[in-house]
Chain A
């Protein structure tokens, strides 16, 4: 059996059956797959499987009930075991210390605990979306007053003491995540890796009874185990033959992949931790034509954040502009940036937009926001003047900017003038001294507009770009984890199927089980077994049949 563990040898053995079939069909049996008899056998086999399943089902039902009682007893059982173990070790503090890690491991790898932790994480996250995050304490005083607690007990005290106002960085949430991470590690170590050893240790079943006990079982009269082996190989099984016994498996990766899933989760968690502790972040709004230094904008997020040389890079905003749809709505924002090193030499130039950030020297610049900086106008042929635009507060997402051009005596207390409003850089709406709508002008159109005797040309609309800057050392690790997680989750879909068969005379007993595709498995098996050719016996083999069966 141990020699068979070597795959090369097993394939060697497999080459034998093919010749065997050839010989046997020539010598004393006609190789004759008969559809009608096959069909007949199939109906028979169905009744057999039905039978077996019923007994199984009923016994399973019984088991379920007894196990349900056991379930609540699992934890005490575990401690009992440890009580037994202690005296064996001779007791003492040393034994306890030696035992402690294993005990912690056992507790952590407990499945109900892990499930509880996942529920806790899910519940806390749900709570985090239900309670508005990151507001000032006053907000919570009003929303969750002590006089009228939500659900009878939930007040602002709960929110502020437990840190539910910043749930996703609160000790409770992070603590639960850490616990979940520990459980992941413990489970991988104590349950999953030993499972690999068990799964790799393939064994032959030597008795028909053992085969009949499998989830799926069937018997093929007048069949050869070698034919079965060849057919199983044809449908992707790894087949091992030894004498009258056969072992075949498929989709072993599906059994190992959950380990990969767990490791990928750990990788993502590690990457996330690094992101949280070692990042720099910052955002800046820069008018077109101005500069800023990267290091001035970025601020550290954690104790692992260390500045790099790229912090000295100076960024110059060459141009900020928007694209519009025909309907006038903004379709995209663009910022043309130049990166200058310490000597003022341009090291990179790129036009970034939303979904297309700039990456240089470890930091990333994102286009996230915009603003209206100034309006350049010519008044009565003089200028150009720059009028600063002020953001006007509106409820809703839409932005509105406005400016005011005084006309006449600017020193008088109630100065009058022209108001200009803009939703975007595309068109400016002008209002006259009485506040009535006067007209709309586009920048760059060079078309003068005369309001109350003042001729105005709008030369240009100068926007400022809102940029987010970030240095995140965790991203490569997190991305590696993402890749691994996607891959291993997909592989986990594979079902690990195992098939045992035993030649008993001319009858072949087949049994098998699978861990995931349990609904498909019997059908697939029946389809495979239907293809096993039936040996029509000559009288010589009938004799052996009589002896065998």
Chain B
């Protein structure tokens, strides 16, 4: 009883904190340079992180197994993964707009978990015989962390695509204006002493370029990290399957889609090795990966087919 109360408290605190953080984010978008607000949103994410951690730990203690046995728990864990990524980038003191990706992702997953799903699903269920293994912790946590990182990275790529295509449109629209500012930048390069203010004002395009470059590099880095998690997750799942189902690979739909996801992000990593394909091309591949993760994570469960039917749910409420 006390556990479920605790769980409720944690859920509500974290959900409302993330809502506030999102509002603050939009405010900072509208009103520039509100340092205090920005700082408070960071603090909000810290609070949120600890709330979700508390939620998971409570669930772990009272259910007696690692809280990753059904869809609700894995969604909460995914949300935790987003906050974890946010935390890591926060403690490394890097502000590369990652929080504007991680915070909404965290709120959407959590919002979906707490309100979109049936309340019946939120009850901690008993563990099916096949899930009673130490591999559960390794396999599922790695998979979900991998999903979280890959989703973040591919969202950065989507952002890059959006910015790039808007840029293309503006270039077509204001061709003259653009070339003038190019020239100006080159002119600035010639000079050894740059008046910083003038530079800032005149080279908006340069900053946009720098932003896309940053997005590109960060999405590469985060996707690489997610790829490691995904690899470890799939392989530990294969080892587990060899213990529980009798074969390390069964071409089960979930397995297959995880492999498809892996392949797509392997393609992404390969496009990065070629300078011709970097940037927009790789970003397109990463955006495809974004869709495929959702098919893998949700679509397969929605159908409830195959051996991974633990996380399945029905949309009809009776």
Contacts and interface: CB of A to CB of B under 8 A. Distances in A.
B203 A121 contact: no
In order of increasing CB-CB distance, the 4 nearest A-B pairs are A519-B217, A354-B129, A355-B133, A366-B246
A55 B206 contact: no
A64 B217 contact: no
Contact of B224 (A50, A332, A478, A493): A493
Interface string B183-205: 00110110000101001000100
A519 B218 contact: yes
A331 B126 CA distance: 8
Contacts of B182: 58
B210 interface: yes
B127 interface: yes
A301 to B, nearest CB: 11
The secondary structure that dominates the B interface is helix
A55 B129 contact: no
A160 B189 CA distance: 65
Contact of A47 (B94, B132, B196, B232): B196
Contacts of B247: 470, 472
A272 B249 contact: yes
Interface string A499-532: 0000000000000000011111001000000000
Interface of B: 94, 96, 126-127, 129-130, 132-133, 135, 182, 185-186, 188-189, 194, 196, 199, 203, 206, 209-210, 213-214, 217-218, 220-221, 224-225, 227-228, 231-232, 235, 238-240, 242-249, 251, 253, 256-257, 259-260, 263-264, 266-267, 270-271, 273-277, 279, 300
B248 A64 contact: no
A547 to B, nearest CB: 22
A28 B270 CA distance: 53
Nearest to A61: B209
B246 A485 contact: no
Contacts of A272: 249
Given A51-B189, A111-B274, A516 B251 contact: no
Given A329-B126, A353-B129, A478-B248, A519 B96 contact: yes
Contacts of A61: 209
Contacts of B196: 47
Contacts of B186: 54-55, 58
A154 interface: no
B187 to A, nearest CB: 11
A489 B246 CA distance: 26
Given A125-B256, A129-B257, A54 B185 contact: yes
Contact of A516 (B194, B224, B244): B224
14 contacts: A57-B206, A58-B185, A61-B209, A67-B275, A111-B270, A121-B263, A125-B263, A167-B251, A329-B126, A331-B129, A355-B240, A478-B248, A493-B224, A523-B94
Given A51-B189, A486-B231, A479 B239 contact: yes
Contact of A475 (B209, B248, B257): B248
B264 to A, nearest CB: 6
A119 B267 contact: yes
A515 to B, nearest CB: 9
A128 B256 contact: yes
Given A47-B196, A118-B266, A475-B242, A489 B185 contact: no
A482 B235 contact: yes
A487 to B, nearest CB: 10
A109 B239 CA distance: 31
Nearest to A265: B266
Given A70-B276, A125-B260, A470-B247, A490 B129 contact: no
Nearest to B231: A489
Contact of B189 (A55, A118, A356): A55
Given A51-B194, A486-B232, 8 more contacts: A53-B210, A54-B206, A118-B270, A325-B126, A331-B127, A470-B246, A517-B221, A518-B220
B206 A67 contact: no
B132 A518 contact: no
Interface in A332-352: 332-333
B251 A168 contact: yes
Contacts of B129: 330-333, 353-355
Contacts of B218: 519
B246 A368 contact: yes
A168 B249 CA distance: 11
Given A490-B228, A493-B224, A122 B251 contact: no
Contact of B238 (A482, A520, A523): A482
A80 B189 CA distance: 40
Contacts of B263: 118, 121-122, 125
Given A115-B270, A519-B96, A368 B126 contact: no
Nearest to B253: A129
Contacts of A486: 231-232, 235
Interface string A357-395: 100000010101000000000000000000000000000
B251 A128 contact: yes
A332 B132 contact: yes
Most buried by B among A129, A479, A490: A129
Contact of B270 (A63, A114, A125, A133): A114
A68 interface: yes
Given A53-B210, A325-B126, A329-B126, A357 B243 contact: yes
